[in-house]
Amino acid sequence: MNQALDHKALLSLLERPPLRRLLAVLNGEGEETRIVGGAVRNALLGRPVTEVDCATTMLPEAMVKRAGAAGFKSVPTGIDHGTVTVIVDGEPFEVTTLRVDVETNGRQAVVHFGRDFVLDAVRRDFTINALSLGTDGRLYDYTDGVADLGARRVRFIGDPHTRIREDYLRIMRFFRFYAEYAEGEPDPEGLAAAGSERQGLEILSKERIRHELLKLLVARRAEETLRVLSSYGFLTWLFAGAVEFGRFSRVARFDEDDPVAIWRLAALAVMVEEDAERLREHLRLSNDEHRKLIAYARLLVALKGSAQPLDAAAVRRLVADHGVEALSIALAAIDGEPRPVVLEDAFGALERFRSGAEPVPVFPLRGADLIARGIPKGPRIGRILGLARQAWLAEGCRTDEAYARELLARVLAQG
């Protein structure tokens, strides 16, 4: 069933002063520039538009020259591919010369610049991404994208197999856009093509796969989409291991208002530290992302392995050792599982840390403290600090100066 589209919000894009100034400069004298892609799609859906991209008949060099004459700053973010970022009143706009694919290899297309908006539109991936808006308020739709938007349907332009073979990342984008924009079941032709062409993902860089996958994990219908991916055999390949839908679902409910992709990845695909190590390599995760997965894995071991109820004192230790965010996610993931039993005061303590009402305890000793007491730089300092930290955690994570002095004296006497 078709749903209404917000044409008023679409036209309001043209009322934005910086964008209006940009379009006034880049139109005329035989050249045309339109708003394209996501800004048009999201405005019609009544969603926030935070970034606006444009397409133009102008060649990049001419675009830069005209923008400069108007006092706009230009940044050649992808000038070899026709893209220039033009900054107007502090707001950046990506402006790309119209293009035509002349050669594709499943990864990156060889393109020539063109002047035909139709040819530029039909080379795109999905009908809902091929819309453009002229300065006169006219909406251009060469691929029935408006009908697909109204039906909340994600559909490839033309033959899905052809579109996918041009760039196999479009398989991941098909599922990601389905998770974010669609209702009902996936487009059957697109789904069948994605399934049969999935081996093409092997030629893509892990970084490109990771980028799309993490976006999918925080999309509106992430869980339903992951189940579709599972039924078509994608998940084993994407994660190189098992997944846990129950924990993912609980975390998705917990962080619904402010989802974080790396924590959702943890809930879905991390059960032990080895999973975090595997995903680091398999998805080319950053050091910070890997650190978060490790913290989550270690928390699972600590929480599931304890026969004792989780109380406020335990929460204090775990927060000091692993962080508030990681503990919050881990508890959300295993909510309702037999272990651990979480006492009421534990929830209260965690909320105080989450709100900032109580500061997270910080280990009070540093290497400099040991050096000041005559311990030479070297491995011994690390060993002593490690022993001191273990004692600090076991003793309630005190942070007062008297305790810090006593702890330092104790570990020095031991070490």
Tens digits of per-residue pLDDT, 231-248? Answer: 988 998 899 999 999 999
Is 284 buried (19+), middle (13-18) or exposed (0-12) by CB count in 10 A?
Answer: middle
Structure-block tokens of residue 204: 């893509």
Q: What is the pLDDT of residues 359-392, one digit of tens each?
A: 999 999 999 998 998 888 999 899 999 999 999 9
Q: Is 77 helix (H, G, I), strand (E, B) or coil?
A: strand
The pLDDT of residue 102: 67
Q: Which stretch of 87-96, 232-241, 350-359 has the lowest confidence by average pLDDT?
A: 232-241
Structure-block tokens of residue 138: 């006219």
Q: What is the CB neighbour count within 10 angstroms for residue 288?
A: 8
Half-sphere exposure of 12 (CA within 13 A, CB side): 11
- Residue 293 CB partners (closer than 8 Å, separation 6+): 262, 265, 266, 270, 275, 276, 279, 280, 285
For residue 404, give the nearest of 361, 364, 359, 360 by alpha carbon. Answer: 364
Q: DSSP label at 129?
A: G
The pLDDT of residue 103: 63
Peptide bond between residue 48 and the one before it cis (omega within 30 degrees of 0):
no
| Distances 92 to 76, 89, 115, 159 between C-alpha atoms, Å | 12, 8, 23, 34
Beta pairing partners, 310: 342
Q: What is the pLDDT of residues 171-189, one digit of tens each?
A: 999 999 999 999 999 999 9
What is the residue type of 147? Answer: A
Per-residue confidence band for 53, with pLDDT thresholds at 50, 70 and 90: very high
Q: Name the pTM for this structure.
A: 0.90
Q: Which of the pair, 213 or 411, is modelled with greater confidence?
A: 213
Per-residue confidence band for 415, with pLDDT thresholds at 50, 70 and 90: low
Q: What is the pLDDT of residues 289-313, one digit of tens each?
A: 999 999 999 999 999 988 889 999 9
Per-residue confidence band for 2, with pLDDT thresholds at 50, 70 and 90: confident
| Distances 167 to 87, 100, 160, 384 between C-alpha atoms, Å | 30, 15, 11, 54
| Distances 103 to 52, 128, 407 between C-alpha atoms, Å | 28, 24, 68
Domains along the sequence of the chain with CATH: 1-151 (3.30.460.10), 161-232 (1.10.110), 240-361 (no CATH), 367-414 (no CATH)
Structure-block tokens of residue 85: 């970022």
DSSP per residue, 291-321: HHHHHHHHHHHHHHT--SPB-HHHHHHHHHH
Q: What is the pLDDT of residues 154-172, one digit of tens each?
A: 999 999 999 999 999 999 9
